A and B are shown apart, each in its own frame.
Chain A
Amino acid sequence: MKNLLVYHFKTYLKSYKLLLPFLIYLIYLFTAYGIMPFSIVSSFSESAGVLFFIMAYVGFSYAELENPITEQLVLLRINNDTLYYLSRLTMLLIIGVVMSIIGILYPLVLNVINNNHLFTRNLQFEDVAIGLFLHCLMAFLGAMTGSFFHPRIIRNRKMAVLLLFFVAVMGISKGALADYFPQTRLIAWVFPPVFDILAAFTGLEFFSLPAMALPVALTIIYGFVLIIGQIELLKRAKF
Chain B
Amino acid sequence: MDTILISLHSISKYFGKKLILNDINLTITKKSALALMGPNGSGKSTLLKLIGGLSIISSGSRDSAPQLKIAYIPENFPKIDLTPEEFINSTGLIGGLAPKQVTTRMTELFQAFQMEDMGAVPIKHLSKGTIQKVAVIQALLTPPDVLLLDEPLSGQDIQSQKLFIRMVQKLHQQGVATIMSCHERFLVKQLAHSAYELLDHQLIPMDLSGLKEIKYDLMIFEALAKSAIDPALQTLIEQAEWDHNRLKLIVSRDQSDVVLKELLKQKFKLRTMEGISQ
Contact = CB atoms under 8 A, between A and B. Distances in A.
A67 B56 contact: no
Interface of A is mostly: helix
B55 A239 contact: yes
Given A4-B94, A69-B77, A72-B72, A14 B82 contact: yes
Interface residues of B, number: 27
A239 B78 contact: no
A4 B90 CA distance: 8
A20 to B, nearest CB: 16
A120 B122 CA distance: 51
Interface string B24-64: 00000000000000000000000001001011100000000
A73 B91 contact: yes
A72 B70 CA distance: 11
Nearest to A68: B78
Contacts of A10: 82, 86, 90
B95 A70 contact: no
A118 to B, nearest CB: 40
Contact of B95 (A11, A77, A237, A239): A77
Interface of B is mostly: loop
Contacts of B55: 238-239
Contacts of A3: 90, 93-94
A72 B49 contact: yes
Interface in A218-239: 236-239
A14 B72 CA distance: 25
A65 to B, nearest CB: 9
A29 interface: no
A70 B72 CA distance: 10
Contacts of A75: 54
Contact of A11 (B69, B76, B77, B81): B81
Nearest to A238: B56
Interface residues of A, number: 23
Interface string A61-103: 0000001011011111111000000000000000000000000
Given A3-B93, A7-B90, A77-B94, A70 B54 contact: no
A82 to B, nearest CB: 14
Nearest to B142: A77
Contacts of B95: 77-78
A15 interface: yes
Interface in A1-45: 3-4, 6-7, 10-11, 14-15
B94 A11 contact: no
B235 interface: no
Contacts of B233: none
Given A78-B95, A239-B55, 18 more contacts: A4-B94, A6-B93, A7-B90, A11-B81, A69-B76, A70-B78, A72-B54, A72-B74, A73-B72, A76-B71, A77-B91, A77-B94, A77-B95, A236-B56, A237-B56, A238-B54, A238-B55, A238-B56
